[in-house]
Amino acid sequence: MIVGVGIDVVDVARFSARMTANHRLGDRLFTEEEQGLRPESMAARFAAKEALAKALGAPVGLRWTDATVVRDDDGRPRLSITGTVKARADELGVTSLHLSLSHDAGVATAVVIAES
């Protein structure tokens, strides 16, 4: 059963400018594994975290670094969750998260489906 769906769209140039203007922002938003990627990949990961929050009902108190976008052996992206994000997913009975990422023409997009 679907528990929640989230989608987010990020303007890559605007996101990159914010990251450049505020060097500490990357530490607040991304885990070590995610930092240092190309701007469009970082924007897509931010979109994934926003979409995940929406799929989980956007509760206050979720930590951005409690969700990491990783790649499976076959190259597909997936979400690895811990801490506040895992606690919320468990509270909702989420047993599976599905993630789709895309970036093209200066826009990064992510869709997350939370399933029980």
- The predicted-structure confidence for 18-42, as pLDDT tens digits, reads as follows 999 998 999 999 999 899 899 999 9
Give the count of domains, the chain. Answer: 1
CATH number of the CATH domain containing 24? 3.90.470.20
Range of 29's domain? 2-115
Spatial distance between the Cα atoms of 34 and 107, rounded to a whole number of angstroms: 18
Residue 2 has pLDDT above 90, yes or no: yes
Spatial distance between the Cα atoms of 99 and 36, rounded to a whole number of angstroms: 21
Under DSSP, the state recorded for 59 is -
Q: Which residue has the tokens 């998260």?
A: 97
Spatial distance between the Cα atoms of 96 and 80, rounded to a whole number of angstroms: 11
**pLDDT at residue 107, as a whole number:** 98
Residue 16 has pLDDT above 90, yes or no: yes
N-to-C CA span, the chain: 5
> What confidence tens digit (pLDDT) does each residue in 40-87 have?
999 999 999 999 999 999 999 999 999 999 999 999 999 999 999 999
pTM of the model: 0.94
**pLDDT at residue 44, as a whole number:** 97
**pLDDT at residue 23, as a whole number:** 85
| Pair 86, 110: CB distance under 8 Å | no
